[in-house]
Amino acid sequence: MPIFSLFLTISCPFFPSLYKFSPFSLIFSPGQYTTGRGSSGVGLTAAVLRQYTTGRGSSGVGLTAAVLGELALEGGALVLADRGVCCIDEFDKMAEGERVALHEALEQQSVAVAKAGVVASLNARCAVLAAANPALGRYDPRRSLEHNLQLPAALLSRFDLLWLLQDRPQRDRDLRLAQHITYVHQHCREPPSAFRPLDMKLMRRYLCACRRRCPRLPEALGEFLTAAYVELRRERGRGLYTSARTLLAVLRLSTALARLRLGAVVEKDDVTEALRLLEAARDSLRGDSEPVPRCPRPSEAIFGVLRELGGPGGRSVPLPHALEVLGARGFTPAQVSAALAEYEGLDVLQVNPARTRVTFV
């Protein structure tokens, strides 16, 4: 299971906030920066190379070794960034054959090598920050995420958060950006700011202190996490599939938030904030479109009617009366039977053998 969070940002071309995030990799140690277009599959993971020795004074055995060469295992950007961060720009420009090599590294955070008789497994326990552009230069919220990025869903599901950053016209922000660029071009330095930026050394010290923390997850949060995951699984109409990787993402984000405050225990506020980040990331993928209200499924609507018939604190409902009310509201007997079977499977309600009463668990 990955122990570091993975992030993918989707931006329109020439978005100013993603002009270059290579300095971001300098804050972390170790940190690696690469691009999708300039990196091959082995350049990101690992490669087996044949090295030759040169120089005077070689013995016969040394010359033999120089002729034959020796195999050496060299790690790529993900391996070199072990326990650090790896920044990958132009993630969408990577060739399909080279992109396949990332699946294992992003899922298991290790790189398995079996080439030329060399069999090894290298650690790649790093956080990945990737940036990609839409395939047609502009994100279309009416299309799926896979069609917008031309990236497989199996690879996108390995990222904890997927953020959409758009360059929308905004007069005040555009004016500040133009003034900043003009000042830097004229004076070859940054303009004076109203605040004092944090020192790079201080940031490194703070992050090192955070990384030394290993917050534990208390048992009291088990039920809260389970209920939140089940609720995410029940949601529809979001355009993103929720799997067990989503639960692992929430756990990693909660642990990271606890580390940022130098806490020893993951608290409920950390989990709530992780869920909020996950929801905000999903909402950002809608782009310029307004939030689409989620239409409840027939089974959800039927369950709501049953709870309504039960009243406040009600434990059971007569099934014949419920069927009569549901039929008047337009639900078919097949839909009612399917809803009862679904919620019985979730251990939310029970129907007696005579099929005369529904009891809420």
pLDDT tens per residue, the chain (361 residues)?
555 556 666 655 544 444 455 555 567 677 888 887 766 666 777 777 776 655 555 554 444 334 445 777 777 888 888 888 888 888 888 877 777 778 888 888 888 888 777 888 888 888 888 888 887 677 777 778 888 888 888 888 889 999 888 878 889 999 999 999 999 999 999 888 888 888 888 888 998 899 899 999 998 888 888 888 888 887 654 455 678 888 999 999 999 999 999 999 999 999 999 999 998 888 888 755 544 444 557 887 888 888 888 877 678 888 888 898 888 888 888 888 888 888 887 777 888 988 888 888 7
CB 73 within 8 A of CB 120: yes
CB 66 within 8 A of CB 58: yes
Sign of CA dihedral 11, 16, 17, 21: positive
Assess contact for 110 and 45: CB atoms under 8 A. no
Helix (H) or strand (E) holding 77: helix 77-80
Strand blocks (E) in 183-324:
316-318
Rounded CA gap, 339 and 188, in Å? 67
Angle at alpha carbon of residue 90, lines to 88 and 92, rounded to 5°? 110
pTM for this model (two decimals): 0.68
Specify the pLDDT at position 172. 92
State the Cα angle at 248 between 96 and 120, rounded to 5°: 55
pLDDT for 9: 65
Six-digit token pair at 331? 């639900």
Per-residue DSSP letter, 57:
S
160 within 8 A of 252, measured Cβ to Cβ? yes
Q: Which amino acid does the sequence have at 53? A: T
Per DSSP, helices labelled H in 212-265 are: 222-234, 244-260
Contact 250, 128 (CB under 8 A): no
What tokens does 61 get?
A: 């055995």
